[in-house]
Each structure stands twice: as structure tokens, then as C-alpha cells.
Structure 1
């Protein structure tokens, strides 16, 4: 008698979680092998950021007990700087496509120095590019010397990725170490033109990058899309497409950011068919006295002032102006910034509407696990003050 047919059993893929260790040897022990397995399609992965609060928020966003969506190999948690964190679903093919396009643009595989958190896409891409090149990355320990890290790396084709704050600090303290890299990718936040000019004048091979978790990392370098990346601007907003695009958001199939193979970034920009210029977030514009004010432009102007080391700009309700432009600044060593001076400085460059009407001094700009400014925390500090 023939045995009864046994139907195929479909086993849902479960997401594994790896806590992000501090930058150091533990990254190569824990995250490095887990990411390589994810890129091979063997074990879907999400890396949780450090800290009890961020880790709990990330866990809530990825909901590891729920079955994983088809095709997803990596879930990257967005920073949540403007809302609840979300899990971005990436396939191994998308991450590999991004890494391959980056290496092609830079001139070939090389040795990478990891200096960014591995819970964010920029840090994970350093590992992915290293895996694609078949080379173990070097890791800059938290608080470690860039000079020492570079000295321990092979001399042929050295790359790293930094956020603007890291570039500014390294340019002041260890410019020779920066010059040792064949490319220093800078992204994660808008980079001041003066900082870029200073770095290039110092002989640093700086490459600006634009992208996000939804595009598996940077996909536009120095304004030029990587191979395979499509760019368009619709109603002033930047939209991106290509093989590096995410599948969508974790457990949110109705998200309207992904439509027809395009991702709507919510960034304002212009694109002439060859070069993309990003002007800031569409939803970050402050309307003060009926005039649109871009916070990023005010921040850039403030950082040019000799009394200001760093700055974040926010808006507060104002009965007269609608929105009051508020500046939170980190003073330069030995300096005491004054509101009147900063108002005149910004007003001369951007117009009276952009001049801050309120000033708060910070010891340091709070940052997210990605290294970007934590605008929500700054807003909370301003409200508390």
C-alpha cells in the first residue's frame, strides 16, 4: 500500500538579534560573522543599538517573534529622530549591490576601517564592503587613535566612513591620519561646505555620500548617483530607485514611501540629470514671519562663526512670528557666544527671518546611535530650559 503523500511544510524564517557591542574587537567576534551569514542568505539579522532605551525601541520596531517578510535578510532600524523607529527590510542582494557600486566608484576593493556604529547602515556597509572584498576590516576602538589604527592597516587602498563631526575633529587633531586614506566617505548628515573645503585643502580624499537605510546606505557620491541608481525629483522631493532599494518596512506593507519601485525620501532637492543637490528635509522647513527657513542652512552659518563649534537649530511656537528660530550651540574653546552677535551673523548671510531669536548653550550636541544629531533630544533640552 502506497504511503500517503506528505505536504511540504513551510517554515517561517525567524529574525535573529545581535546587540551592537562598543567599537572594538567584539565587533569582529559577534557582528562580523553574523553579517556575513546574513549576506549569504543563511540567517536573517538585526543589530540592536547600544543602550537600554534605544535597544528596547529597536526590538519593538523589529518584533523578532513575528515571521520575517519574504526576501529580507537584514533589518536595519531607522534612527527615529522624527518619529517612532522603523525596521527597514533589506535583501542580501540589495546590500551587495550597494557595496559593489561603492567599490566600483572608489576604484576597487580595499582595506576598510570601521569607525561608525554597526547598528546603523553606514557601519554595516563598511562590514559588507569588507566581506565583498574578502578582507577583514580594521576597527577603530571607541576613543581610540586614528593614527594608531591607520598605522596597523595594510598600505594599499585604505578606506573609511565618517560622519561630519568625526571629520571635523580628526581634521583638527590627526590630519596626517586622514590623508593616509584613499577615500574618506562622509555622510549621515549634511556636511558644511567650509569643512569639505578645509579637508580637501589639507589633502584629504573626502567623498560626500547621500543615502539612507532604505537605499542600503549611500547611493549618491559627490552628487553623482552610483551605477544602477536612478534619481528623480517630484514636487521638489527627491526619489530614488535601483537594485539597492529596500523591500519596505517591517510589518508595514501599506507604507506609501515605496511606490512603483521608487522610494520617496522626503528630502528637498534638485537634479539636472547628472548631479543631485539636496537642500534639506521637506518637513524640516520652519516658517517664521511667513518666510521659509531651512534649519540646515542656519546651522551651517552658525558653525562658520568663530565662537561656535557646533550647532543645531529648532523651531518653537511664537505668537508674533508663528515659529521662532532657536539655536542650540556648542561654544568654541574659550568663547562665549552671544545672541545679538549670532543674529547679526546669520541675518547678514541668510536674511532676517533666519536669524535665531533664542540661544541655548550646550556642552555637546546629543547624537543618535547613527552619529546623527538627536534633534528630538535637543528640542527636549530647549523646552526644559
Structure 2
């Protein structure tokens, strides 16, 4: 049921432990199939990376007995270096003005073509090197990392910043039938940008998909007024790039066509 996923086995004192690695879109679709969900539940852990794992998806997985382990990292850190919000023993995480910085033994030496953007930096004492990611994030009271989305994905509407991931999770939680949600900023003469949502909705053929008024009403108690979507598109599927990542640029063009 999880063909195409990478399978990993690790021997421990208590025996062999089994893991597989998926992207969130794959997890969501497998959870829709009872037999596939049961297969996932046989693993000791399902490593989830390449894109953000919505909290609502983690809750669905837990209800199905599936143990998700969100992973975070990139080529500059030799792959995953943060698991379930905790860095590896040899890795470091800190937040600077809302930006995630990664450090530690797995950090790359630099780029072959140089680093004109200054992505690799040293702390003021010169004792440690860091990689400045393009991700926004925060540490909770237990010190766990939460990635809030890419800095360049933030929507600035009326001078206020909206993290698309927060709105996307609210859509998945509170709007009936929503299976996939991507939120982008669309240009607007009055607000600068407006929060715009593209949805994939499960319907039985007799139920109409939600309209913008339905979505705003469903989210009114979950989000501040400025974060409520002002534009909406319901599609059969959403464009992706890479392993399950939504193509936000392509989706953003949907909201500018005809303007």
C-alpha cells in the first residue's frame, strides 16, 4: 500500500524497528484508504518531510494509529536535522527576527559558486556557523521548533502579515469537505494583497462546494478578520512541484488571470 515510499529498518536492543518516509500529500491520500492506513500503522514511525505537515493531518494520523515524525532540513544541512521539533544531538536551531537558523556538524561548508546572499553566517563571537533559511518559525515553551512557512510566502494585507499555513490548517479543520488547501497572496489595489484560497473539496455530487461566504463564515471564530480569505477558487486538483509541494506561484496566477 505504500509502494514507492522509502523503507528503513533499524536494529535496536529491543529488535528491528521499521520506518518509511512520505510527503504530507501521500499521507493524506493513504489515510483516505482504510487498507493503506492500516499498513501505515504497522510502521514504528512515518517520517514526513519535503513540505509542512498540517496539525489536522497529524491528528487524523494519530486517530488511525499512525505515528508521524515531522522532519526538517535541506541540502545545506545534509538533509533532515530536526525531527519532531528537536534537532539532532549534533545540530543547532535558533530563531532570529522570526527566521529559522540552523547550525551544527551537518552544516555544509558553503556553495561552490560562492555565497553572495550571505546565507552562511558566523555568530558575533565567531564560535559557530549558521545557515539562514528562508523559513519563518518559532520555538514553543518546550523548545520545539515550529516552522510557520516560507518568509516569502507570507501575505501582507492592509499592513498585517498572515502566515498561509495557519489559514490552510483552519480551512482543513473547519470547512466541511475540504481535502486540500493552499493559501496565497493576490494583488489588490486597496489592501496591497488579499488572502486567497484554492481548495480541493470532496462532494457527493449532490452537495455544492462551499462558496466564499460559506468559507468566511466557517472560519470567523478561528481566525482574525484580516486573515479571512477574500478570494476563493475550488479546483479538481492543485498543481504541485517536486515531491508533493504545492506550486504556489502557479496557484497565485489563478487569482490574477483576467485582471
Report the TM-score when normalising by structure 2. Answer: 0.84
Give the structure with higher Rg (CA). Answer: 1
Structure 1 or 2: more helix by fraction: 1
Instruction: Report the Cα distance in structure 1 between the residues aligned to 2:176 and 2:96, rounded to whole angstroms.
Output: 38
Match of 1:193 in 2: 55
Match of 1:165 in 2: 25
Asked if structure 1 preserves the Cα contact closer than 8 Å seen for 2:58 and 2:68, the reply is yes
Match of 1:382 in 2: 255
Instruction: Report the Cα distance in structure 1 between the residues aligned to 2:130 and 2:218, rounded to whole angstroms.
Output: 40
Instruction: Report the Cα distance in structure 2 between the residues aligned to 1:283 and 1:320, rounded to whole angstroms.
Output: 21
Deviations along 1:198-249, one digit per CA (max 9) or x if unpaired, are 2112211211112222222221111111120111111221100122222333
Match of 1:249 in 2: 111
Report the TM-score when normalising by structure 1. Answer: 0.58
1:219-238 matches, within 5 Å, as 219-238=81-100
Residue aligned with 1:353, SS: helix
Residue aligned with 1:378, SS: helix
Asked if structure 2 preserves the Cα contact closer than 8 Å seen for 1:347 and 1:354, the reply is no
1:196-345 matches, within 5 Å, as 196-260=58-122, 261-271=129-139, 274-304=143-173, 305-334=175-204, 335=207, 336-345=209-218
Q: CA deviation at 1:348?
A: 2.1
Asked if structure 1 preserves the Cα contact closer than 8 Å seen for 2:186 and 2:255, the reply is no
Instruction: Report the Cα distance in structure 2 between the residues aligned to 1:222 and 1:363, rounded to whole angstroms.
Output: 32
Runs of 4+ off more than 6 Å: none
The CA RMSD over aligned residues, in Å, is 2.4
How many residues get paired? 241
Structure 1 or 2: more strand by fraction: 2
Q: Please say if 1:365 is aligned against 2:238.
A: yes
Deviations along 1:115-149, one digit per CA (max 9) or x if unpaired, are 2xxxxxxxxxx59x78xx7xxxxxxxxxxxxxxxx
Asked if structure 2 preserves the Cα contact closer than 8 Å seen for 1:248 and 1:255, the reply is no
Deviations along 1:52-84, one digit per CA (max 9) or x if unpaired, are xxxxxxxxxxxxxxxxxxxxxxxxxxxxxxxxx
Consecutive unaligned residues in structure 2, runs of 5 or more: 123-128
Q: CA deviation at 1:182?
A: 1.4
